[in-house]
Structure 1
């Protein structure tokens, strides 16, 4: 793993958060530490498999430091997928500023992606989101930007809209979302990691059932990526098309 540049990059990335300080004064919610363990038939992110289409396990945690500063972390098995340089294990660390104002929730921060025994593939993204709850439904808009880095062969911007709906009278929750990935390319081989066929659009539909602290669900994902594109490059992974995956999650 290569993490020597993370402290400097994350510190620099957090400086733009100063403009959100007035919003933070309105935040009232009390945040609690939380964790969950999830097993999925295929861990997917932005329509791309992170486990080569194989079963994966992820442990998520969230730790509030202050009322407005939260550190999220995730550890997951990657099953030696091509996309992650044959790494078996991935770690994400994400400090975030959180605030609420006039019924809107805001987050802004950074996320470091670390890959065990994968060479120079670690990278950092800046993240921001805004969300609103309306009755049993909620809307979230996300923007994630990775400045140009050798590990991803350039820069990358991901925009996504997500909608969730708790189905009244049932223990079911439905989700839907659409995203678009774009960026610049300085190394065409490594750019395949986040943009296998250049700029692309992804979408998902999911439904889950929760009982106490246990959740089961199914998710359908798809992308606009040409399945025959970049097939012979180092980081190409075939699992970028339409797929159905199932998952189970327990919260602590």
Structure 2
């Protein structure tokens, strides 16, 4: 055993450059296996499926995620909230997520996972709930379309009933420029705290400009929830009315 150790020590002393190269290769391989990404954003209001959870106030958001080359990923996303979005007193939403994404064919991907919504410090009840989701991504040249479905089983935090949300998103970068266009439409069904007045539809149209990891975006967001439904749910009509939302994002 001692001879083996001495031989290994001699080899390491005799070939320091080789050892450094090997370490560099190992670091590069590790970097290729696991990718870490994240960022922060400042938004004029936080809209969740068309509903304003920051009560028309500015919100600060941030996220970090880890992706394995196999397609497995996990991470966390957080945002400040206010007013109707406080859900009993918390001023913070903290989402934990994990999932798996894989390519089905050229330009076709399947993404599925689970999100756990938490509101640290909330009072008056438990407001944490979980929601499985699945997304089908379709790409044709620079354009991309994502079809999504999310299902929250009946849980105390959402009124003891289930909720189904289906959505379609489209993104179109303008070739040769830093600009891009995007559109979204979603439908929520279920008599829960997520759906004032029952089922409703939300939609948005947006435009963005990106430069060296920074993205500025402006979007028009609206729902078909009537003011009476919002009032009946204990909210002000302003949180479901049409709004122009501006955001600045820095990602790494």
TM-score (norm 2): 0.81
Query: How many residue pairs end up in the alignment?
Result: 217
1:72 Cα deviation (Å)?
Answer: 2.6
The structure with the largest helix share of the pair is 2
- The residue correspondences of 1:25-44 to structure 2 (distance < 5 A) are 32-44=35-47
1:86 Cα deviation (Å)?
Answer: 3.1
Alpha-carbon distance in 1 for matches of 2:145, 2:239? 28
Which residue is 2:149 aligned to? 143
Structure 2 CA distance for partners of 1:134 and 1:31, relative to 1, 3 Å: farther
Which residue is 2:231 aligned to? 231
Which residue is 2:131 aligned to? 125
User: Match of 1:228, SS?
Assistant: helix
TM-score (norm 1): 0.81
Which residue is 1:73 aligned to? 76
1:73 Cα deviation (Å)?
Answer: 1.2
1:106 aligns with 2:110: yes
Structure 2 CA distance for partners of 1:84 and 1:239, relative to 1, 3 Å: same
- The residue correspondences of 1:1-252 to structure 2 (distance < 5 A) are 32-65=35-68, 67-82=70-85, 84-103=87-106, 104-118=108-122, 119-153=125-159, 154-183=161-190, 185=191, 191=192, 193-234=193-234, 238-252=238-252
Deviation string 1:97-142 (CA, Å, 9 cap, x unpaired) is: 1111212111111100000222311110011001021111000001
1:218 Cα deviation (Å)?
Answer: 0.3
Structure 2 CA distance for partners of 1:212 and 1:174, relative to 1, 3 Å: same
Structure with the larger RCO, 1 or 2 (CA within 8 Å, 6+ apart): 1
Alpha-carbon distance in 2 for matches of 1:238, 1:146? 26
Higher gyration radius (CA):
2
User: Match of 1:229, SS?
Assistant: helix
User: Match of 2:228, SS?
Assistant: coil
1:247 Cα deviation (Å)?
Answer: 0.3
Alpha-carbon distance in 1 for matches of 2:224, 2:233? 19
Does the 8 Å contact 1:84/1:235 carry over to 2? no
Alpha-carbon distance in 2 for matches of 1:149, 1:213? 38
Alpha-carbon distance in 1 for matches of 2:171, 2:39? 19
Alpha-carbon distance in 2 for matches of 1:180, 1:146? 14
User: Match of 2:176, SS?
Assistant: coil
Alpha-carbon distance in 2 for matches of 1:82, 1:173? 30
Does the 8 Å contact 2:43/2:59 carry over to 1? yes
RMSD: 1.8
Alpha-carbon distance in 2 for matches of 1:249, 1:109? 24
1:31 Cα deviation (Å)?
Answer: 6.1
